[in-house]
């Protein structure tokens, strides 16, 4: 039976035969194209999953963090600020936070020292993140020696290690008691790193922040929404790595398209002439070119996306690790929760499959309008 479906599969057959003629060229094209899709899709998966993680976990972050600024620098904040802030209408609680960074010269790592709100640890004991345990090669009940700001050794016993499932937030943490923190850094009395403020009604957060800024012009309130937004701008397109990746992807695509658009050789022209002379319509020729474009670009898209998913969610985005790690000594070992963003994948689909197919069809279109007797006359 004659049917349009037969016509499609027949022409697809010939498109595949036609592509297989230049096997190595088209195969390498497919490989490079797949690689581009793979890198971009990996980035999409990775960033989406990280954003998802940040949005879910940091939703529990303090509503407001109030920092004190002195001469444009983040400085210690007096506890008296907290007392006045807690008097503002709508503020439920104010907790002074004690935290800071510690650089371990022996192991070359930056740790985050943090005092929890309610004494989780006794003086002399600490809870550490899995990254710290890896870095120091210590386990529970081992001793960790830190050097205080007065150059005296401070010996602390590891009371517990946070589970590896929490590494994305806890990897470099050393959670210690306020007494040990004071022993370490000798802060002036009544001074804290910053203040965590809880607001009763989430809709009043901005109002409260404004009031705090008015009350204490030398402070800076940071809203929870701003903390969350920080991870929305992760891999901003203007950012270094994104620009490099996108530029490479776009440039290679332009090279392909250029090759396609200008690469309609005399040979290909002649072939189109032959097809026309043996009874192919212009639309048949265009369909042939359409399939040639689809075979390469759709396969590249699908394979690239599947590989990217495996890369990001089964192999923890191993290829991005070096970029993220930078010069860090502690790098969290984390498994991201898979997130598939259909919208972004659709955009990627249209950005990869459509232009390539168009770049295949358009030059052929110009050649396919030759009169059918051209092949006979030449």
Partner 1 sequence: MIELANVTKTFNADKHNQFTAVDDVSLTIEAGRLTILKGPSGSGKTTLMALIGCMARPSSGRIRLHGISTSFFSDADSGSALDITSLPERFLTEIRRTTFGFIFQQFNLVKGISALENIMLPAYPTGESQAAFRQRALELMELFSVSRHAASPVEWLSGGELQRVAIARALINNPTIIIADEPTAHLDSKLSREFMEMVGTLKARGKTILIASHDPLVYDSELAETVVGMRDGRITGITGAA
Partner 2 sequence: MRKSSIFIIVTAVNILLIGLLTVHARYSQAMAATALRERAEMVRTLQLTDLCLFTEARYTRNPAMADRFAPFQDHPGAMEHFPSGSLVTPPSKRIHEFSP
Stretch of residues binding partner 2 (CB under 8 A), selected from 32-40, 46-54, 253-261, 357-365: 46-54
Report in angstroms how near the CB of residue 363 gets to partner 1 at its nearest.
18
Pick 73 or 377: Cβ nearer partner 2: 73
Q: Applying CB under 8 A, which of residues 93, 159, 277, 299 lies at the interface with partner 2?
A: 299
Q: Applying CB under 8 A, which of residues 34, 42, 136, 171 lies at the interface with partner 2?
A: 171
Pick 70 or 366: Cβ nearer partner 2: 70
Report in angstroms how near the CB of residue 343 gets to partner 1 at its nearest.
37
The count of residues interacting with partner 2 (CB under 8 A) is: 93
The rounded distance, in Å, linking the Cα atoms of 235 and 240 is 8
Task: Dig out the tokens for 374 from the structure.
Answer: 């051209």
CB 245 within 8 Å of CB 43 = yes
Pick 192 or 273: Cβ nearer partner 2: 192
Report in angstroms how near the CB of residue 94 gets to partner 2 at its nearest.
12
Residue 226 touches which of partner 1, partner 2, none (Cβ within 5-8 Å per kind): partner 2
CB 243 within 8 Å of CB 237 = yes
Q: Which residues bind partner 1 (CB under 8 A)?
A: 1-7, 9-11, 13-14, 17-18, 21-22, 267, 271, 274-275, 277-281, 284, 287, 371-373, 375-378
25 CB neighbour count, 10 Å cutoff = 12
When asked if residue 101 is in the footprint of partner 2 (CB under 8 A), the reply is yes
Task: Dig out the tokens for 256 from the structure.
Answer: 């392909």
Rg for the chain (alpha carbons), in Å?
Answer: 31
Report in angstroms how near the CB of residue 312 gets to partner 1 at its nearest.
40
Of 155, 144, 177, 136, the closest CA to residue 329 belongs to 136
Residue 328 touches which of partner 2, partner 1, none (Cβ within 5-8 Å per kind): partner 2
**Sequence-separated (6 or more) residues with CB below 8 Å from residue 235:** 43, 47, 241, 242
DSSP 8-state code for residue 99: E
Opening angle at CA 332, ends 329 and 337, nearest 5: 160
CB 77 within 8 Å of CB 219 = yes
Report in angstroms how near the CB of residue 357 gets to partner 1 at its nearest.
19
Place of tokens 């960033």: 47
């Amino acid at each position: 039976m004659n049917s349009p479906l037969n016509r499609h599969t027949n022409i697809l057959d010939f498109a595949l035969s036609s592509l297989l003629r230049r096997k190595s060229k088209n195969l390498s094209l497919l490989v490079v194209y797949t690689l581009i899709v793979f890198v971009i899709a990996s980035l999409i998966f990775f960033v989406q999953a990280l954003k998802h993680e940040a949005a879910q976990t940091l939703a529990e972050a303090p509503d407001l963090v109030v920092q004190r600024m002195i001469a444009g620098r983040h400085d210690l904040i007096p506890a008296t600020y907290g007392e006045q802030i807690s008097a503002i209408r709508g503020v439920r609680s104010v907790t002074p936070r004690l935290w800071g960074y510690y650089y371990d010269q022996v192991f070359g790592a930056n740790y985050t020292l943090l005092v929890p709100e309610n004494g989780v640890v006794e003086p002399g004991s600490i809870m550490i993140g899995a990254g710290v345990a890896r870095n120091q090669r210590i386990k529970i009940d081992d001793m960790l020696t830190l050097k205080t700001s007065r150059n005296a050794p401070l010996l602390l016993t590891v009371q517990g290690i946070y589970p590896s499932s929490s590494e994305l937030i806890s990897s470099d943490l050393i959670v210690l008691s306020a007494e040990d923190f004071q022993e370490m850094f000798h802060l002036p009395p009544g001074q804290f790193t910053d203040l965590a403020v809880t607001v009763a009604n989430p809709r009043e957060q901005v109002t409260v922040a404004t009031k705090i800024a008015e009350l204490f012009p030398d402070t800076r309130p940071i809203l929870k929404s701003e903390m969350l937004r920080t991870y929305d701008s992760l891999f901003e397109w203007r950012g270094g790595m994104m620009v490099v990746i996108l530029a490479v992807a776009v440039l290679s695509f332009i090279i392909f398209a250029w090759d396609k658009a200008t690469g309609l050789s005399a040979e290909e022209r002649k072939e189109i002439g032959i097809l026309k002379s043996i009874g192919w319509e212009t639309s048949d020729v265009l369909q042939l070119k359409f399939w040639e474009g689809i075979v390469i670009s759709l396969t590249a898209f699908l394979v690239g996306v599947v590989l990217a998913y495996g890369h990001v969610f089964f192999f923890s985005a191993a290829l991005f690790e070096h970029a993220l790690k930078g010069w860090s000594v502690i790098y969290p070992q984390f498994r991201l929760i898979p997130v598939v963003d259909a919208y972004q994948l659709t955009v990627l689909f249209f950005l990869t499959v459509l232009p390539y197919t168009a770049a295949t069809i358009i030059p052929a279109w110009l050649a396919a309008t030759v009169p059918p007797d051209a092949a006979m006359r030449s």
